[in-house]
Amino acid sequence: MAGISASIFGCQGTTLGPDEADFFAQSQPWGFILFARNIETPEQVYRLTQQLRSALGRDAPVLIDQEGGRVQRLRAPHWREWVPALDEVTGRSLTDAARLLYLRGALIGAELRAVGIDTNCAPLADVARDETHPVLLNRLYGRDPETVSQIARAMADGLLAAGVLPVLKHLPGYGLGQVDSHAELPRVTARRAELDAVDFAAFKPLADLPLGMTAHIVYDAIEDGLPATMSKTLMDLVRSEIGFKGLMMTDDLSMGALPGPIGTRAARAIAAGCDLILHCNGERAEMEAVVENAGHFEGQGLERANAALKLRDAPLALDIAALQAEFEALHSKAS
């Protein structure tokens, strides 16, 4: 992986033009992420994923946000529509809820693999509260760390069974966020004891997952002013206290929560301990600034990247019809 930028980039449209392909060939991001602007039909998405990999000359990971519910980029009529996760699990036994999310992960994973996407930005281990911002609340899996951890594990296992890498988010926890980090920086005033017992506790049983994503959020009890994405103190906490061992990417660096120009954001996130910069909007000048400031993969980041990529190559022989039938029966079961 020598010479590969510590970055993941979005592209602008539904096909890759020569100029954009040349930029990616020269900048060599680690991978790509797709959004609704990149999606039309299964055939078109498959062609695009092949174009992206061809531009780099390697089997680069292609990511997407396909949680189900409001956050899913592949939608009807070509792909299945899913109810929000919190609506799916509320009122069910933990056994049924976990099985539903395993099946959801496996079925989503199969749809993704069919169009050349091998990495999904899910599961979420943020713990829901009454005050959780609506941008996040119904995407979550429960209101206590044990429930959240078990259901998140099931979702991750389903994705892995389909040969799709899960991305655990949003480390070290966004459940107490009361504003939308797409627009402004959330600040959490909870005491450290509550964070340890609830928010951080939900992530600890998931610390072996291959990839993770940061939260753009400030914890006043730990480090006043700096969002986790840019905080060495919090990135060290993710590694040492939560014990997360996987490849760590930022949440989208172009979100409104973060201070400073894009290049400065990238440099600060890498200095804090993030392995990868995620930049999603496809704007060339911003991507150039990321490349200039993110550096290349080396050391432990390179080792984590290699370990993660090995997991996408061995999907199980899934009986999709049987999984769909089981999901429908369990989904219809009275809660």
Which residues are designated catalytic?
Answer: 182, 251
Between CA 137 and CA 305, with CA 199 as vertex, the angle to 5 degrees is: 95
Q: Is the dihedral of CA 232, 33, 22, 3 positive or negative?
A: positive
For the purposes of burial, counting CB atoms within 10 Å of the CB of 319, is it exposed (0-12), middle (13-18) or buried (19 or more)?
A: exposed
User: What does the alpha-carbon distance between residue 325 and residue 309 come to, in Å, rounded to a whole number?
Assistant: 31
The terminus-to-terminus CA distance of the chain in angstroms comes to 49
User: What does the alpha-carbon distance between residue 235 and residue 228 come to, in Å, rounded to a whole number?
Assistant: 7
- Give me 210's structure tokens: 């291959």
Amino acid at 289: A
Torsion of CA 138, 113, 150, 275, to 10 degrees: -90
- Give me 183's structure tokens: 């627009």
| Strand extents, DSSP E, the chain | 5-10, 29-34, 62-64, 66-68, 71-72, 119-120, 165-171, 187-188, 211-214, 218-219, 247-249, 277-279
The 3-class SS string of 216-257 reads CCEECCCCCCCCHHHCHHHHHHHHHCCCCCCEEECCCCCCCC
> How far is residue 62 from each of residues 46, 82, 261, 334, measured CA to CA in Å?
11, 21, 26, 37
The DSSP bridge partners found for residue 8 are: 31, 278
